[in-house]
Structure 1
Amino acid sequence: MWNIFLKGNRTYDGLFYVAVKTTKIYCRPSCKSRKPKKQNVAFYLNRKEVERAGYRACKRCQPEVDRSPQEKIVQQAVLYLMNHMNETVTLEKVAEHVGVSPFHLERIFKQEMCTTPRTYLEKMRIEKAIHLLEHTSKTNLDICYEVGFNSPSSFYKVFKKRVSLSPHAYRRMEINRSE
């Protein structure tokens, strides 16, 4: 959550809230205000919880204002993708879950997120793979299946496209960097 907050990624707005202990203000993860120190931050999963803890809404990002119906659909789709990223996910499954047609979901997802649900899912899987490569000794094959790819060839292809290195080369580079 901290890394997402630092990047100011709009994708996670509404999925959690960032509360600043020193100012007693809470924000969306995408808030453009100056970032506080990590030790002064607490994370909450819903607005009621953060307000009950005594925080008030940020005047800049206005986290208390509800999003449009399209944004809510995209938010539900993102949550579904996050919760099912290790499974075989189809556009049809996601669309059925959020209650719209696959065509409509892809169109509004691309409009809101500037990417397709499939590309977004690949990005999440590669981010998780990078984390596992950096922090575990699992094999590339184990990581491939753990992050939700159905075949090593698709894992290597997507990883190389996004990171410009193979998983093996990435791990080697990280080992050399830490020495």
Structure 2
Amino acid sequence: MGNTEAVNAGNIPEDKWLAVLSNDSSYDGQWYYGVTTTGIFCRPSCKSKPPNRSHVRIFQTASDAESELFRPCKRCKPAERHLPDEEWATHARVYIQTHYREPLTLSHLADALHLSPYHLQRTFKRLTGSTPAAYIQQIRMQEAMKLLASTNLPVTDIAGQVGYANAAHFATRFQGATGLTPTQYRGEKQKP
């Protein structure tokens, strides 16, 4: 196991936490921080959105972070080795599949993956053939189809469970994707 100083909020020294919040480059090379929810590690000077303190772990070296399966941030490049774009696209797909219920914007997704929105959009589309927004909708529709076919939940509840705050917007998107309203789709799939 690598040399980590902190696992949760109470253990992170205040000076290191303040360095992360202020993107203090004077600490670069002295230690690194990892974010447990994304599995990414950064330099203290990284300009990414500040993480939740309870999700931060401190590592003495980049190797320590990598030995615990944290990936180097593509923004601040804390390690000599950088991930190929294909791996970043895979991480983006996994993140979307895990968080599709949440309000996902390109900016939110880029922050979570430590990429610029421009790079994420361009690279994701080049490698997958669709934009992140189209992929989010695809995952949401797949999950909605499963719920419509296997449950009797109201369409409003299903809309909320797959990430749509507005049931009418969900119904419009669903009909655009399938050619059927959610109710028609359920009727077709639940026929005896």
Q: What band does the TM-score fall into relative to the shorter chain? A: 0.5 to 0.7
Structure 1 counterpart of 2:133, from 109, 118, 123: 118
Residue ranges of structure 1 left out of the alignment (5+ in a row): 1-67
Instruction: Establish whether residue 76 from structure 1 lines up as the match of residue 91 from structure 2.
Output: yes
TM-score (norm 1): 0.59
Confirm or deny that 1:149 pairs with 2:164.
yes
Residue in structure 1 matched with residue 113 of structure 2 by the alignment: 98
Distance 2:185 2:127 in 1: 31
> What is the CA distance between 1:175 and its match in structure 2?
2.5
User: What are the within-5 Å matches in structure 2 for residues 15-164 of structure 1?
Assistant: 69-164=84-179
Aligned residues: 110
Residue equivalent to 1:30: none
Provide the rounded CA distance (Å) in 1 between the counterparts of 2:129 and 2:112.
21
Instruction: Find the residue that maps to 1:165 and give its secondary structure.
Output: coil
Q: Counterpart in 2 of 1:168?
A: 183
Secondary structure (helix, strand or coil) at the match of 2:102 reads coil
Structure-2 separation of matches of 1:72 and 1:92: 19
Radius of gyration: which is bigger?
2
Could you say what the CA RMSD is over the residues aligned between the two structures, in angstroms?
1.1
Matched residue type, 1:86: R
Give per-residue Cα distances to partners, 1:83-128, cap 9 Å, x unaligned.
1111111111111122211011001100111001111011101100
Give the SS at the match of 2:190.
Answer: helix
Residue 172 of structure 1, CA deviation: 1.1
Tell me which amino acid in the other structure corresponds to 1:71: E
TM-score (normalizing by structure 2): 0.55
